[in-house]
Structure 1
Amino acid sequence: MRFKNRVKSGKMPEVNLIPMLNVMMGILAFFVMITMMLTNEQGVEVQLPAGENAPPPEEAPPPVLVVELNAQGQFFVEEEPFEQQQLESQLRFFLRQDEEAFVVLQADEALPYERVLQTLAELKVIGGDRVSLGIE
């Protein structure tokens, strides 16, 4: 039996690495799994206090001042009639008392929308973004 001389044929021998890498990954996975099984979990035993499951304290809602505007264009706060200048001073006082307070304008449905927007713009000059239009 005669062996062929591969060097003379010009072909270089090839090493197929894929099967070797598959075996190496299998061995690596085996050692990782064994290491995880053999190590003891370390932790600290903690005894939690036995307490009632009380809900967290509820935050009080911010104060709201409802300004009503009827069909005749009159202002009412808590069913008391106000002139526009009285209302402006009342709003300034109310908004100074609490930083989270806000004002809601409730306008009558019969009132023209232009008048509602004009009043809302005037109130926003006083209260800024803490003034909003209420809808029902």
Structure 2
Amino acid sequence: MAISTGSGNAEVLGEINITPLVDVMLVLMVVFILTAPLLNNAVRINLPKTATTAAPDAVKAVTVSLDGEGRVFIDKREVAAEQLEQELKQLAAANPELALSLQADEAVPYKPVAKAMAAISRAGISKLSVLTATGG
């Protein structure tokens, strides 16, 4: 593009127009903002706080979760509370060295947690970790 400086010499202006770049970046940012919450499909549980906890074993443990509404999950898959023992027996039959992690929302009364622990014991699983959040 030539710009007249008034002296008769034509000078070339070499600038990059960044407006399209800004538009593309804004669209990408909006897409990221809208899709980021959808990537987290975990069970929402407020774990009770404790002073210290031991780190779980390096082996991938199956997680049994009890949420605040009384629902039971095995690795993010909802199961009926009555079917928990049967599901765990099937998992234990497939893997005799099965390790379980039990996590329960802090609002869950002790009775459902005790029932889940009894179902785990009746299923023949002896490796159990109870997960809590750190920071007493």
- Which has a greater percent of strand? 2
- The structure with the largest helix share of the pair is 1
Task: Indicate the structure (1 or 2) with the bigger Cα radius of gyration.
Answer: 1
The TM-score with structure 2 as length reference comes to 0.47
> Please, what TM-score do these two structures have when normalized by structure 1?
0.47
Which structure would you say has the larger RCO, counting Cα contacts within 8 Å and 6 or more residues apart? Answer: 2
